[in-house]
Amino acid sequence: MPGQDLDRLNNDQLKELIHSLLWQLRLTDAFWFIYTEKRFDLTAAEELNAEVWAKVGGLAARDIKKRFNIQEAGLEGFLKAFNLFCWTMMVDYRMEQQGDDQLILSVPSCPAQEGRKKHGLGEYRCKEMHLREFSGFAGEIDPRIRVECLFAPPDPHPRDMHCSWRFTVADI
């Protein structure tokens, strides 16, 4: 079947293919949002985006756990799986573990928000979308993991930081 024989590609070609697929995924996500916004309005695009990413976060984590046999729970399991999430390879996530019970994820430069600014569009409200995405992902790894938004658009944020999130493990 054309396009299915990955065994013929060498390591460098496989890496280039991965980079190309990630770029194509980012383009698809960006243009889906832009055209949804044009067809309906920004609020509708933001609401649909939140629904989509609520589903994608959990499904992605489930797939990663299965494919890479991730057995760890808590923040250790979350980090192990999240490092294999496609968006971690496209977004400059900064992870800072604070002890065994807290992880801070920050995004100094968001490709989606930077792309909107570059094309004369304002920031979109991504807080609810990422809350659902991260909660779905984390919950699939360990239902005890809680996600808290420290700030994300539409919240005011520093010029050098788009958003920041806290992950903790709750005692059940």
Looking up residue 99, the CATH number of its domain turns out to be 3.30.1380
Question: How many domains does the chain contain in total?
Answer: 1
Amino acid at 58: G
Classify the phi-psi angles of 12: left when phi > 0, otherwise alpha if psi is within -120 to 50, otherwise beta.
alpha
Residue the block writes with tokens 């920041």:
164
pLDDT surpasses 60 at 1:
no
How much is the pTM? 0.94
Using DSSP, state whether 163 is helix, strand or coil.
strand
46-90: pLDDT as tens digits: 999 999 999 999 999 999 999 999 999 999 999 999 999 999 999
Query: Is 124 within a domain?
Result: yes
Q: Residues of the chain with pLDDT > 70: what percent?
A: 98
- pLDDT of the residue at 4: 72
Q: Which residues contact 69 (CB under 8 A, 6 or more apart)?
A: none
Query: Is 88 within a domain?
Result: yes
Q: Record the tokens describing residue 14, joined without a space.
A: 């496989």
Residue the block writes with tokens 């700030």:
151
Mean pLDDT of the chain: 95
Query: Is 138 within a domain?
Result: yes
Q: Record the tokens describing residue 99, joined without a space.
A: 């002890």
Length of the chain in residues, anyone?
172
Give me the domain span that covers residue 143.
10-169
25/5 Cα distance (integer angstroms) = 21
Query: Is 5 within a domain?
Result: no
54/49 Cα distance (integer angstroms) = 8
Query: Is 4 within a domain?
Result: no
Sheet containing 94-97, strands listed edge to edge, beginning at the edge strand earlier in sequence = 94-97, 102-107, 163-169, 145-151
Query: Is 101 within a domain?
Result: yes
Query: Is 87 within a domain?
Result: yes
Q: Record the tokens describing residue 170, joined without a space.
A: 């709750």
Give residue 3's pLDDT band: very low, low, confident or very high (50, 70, 90): low
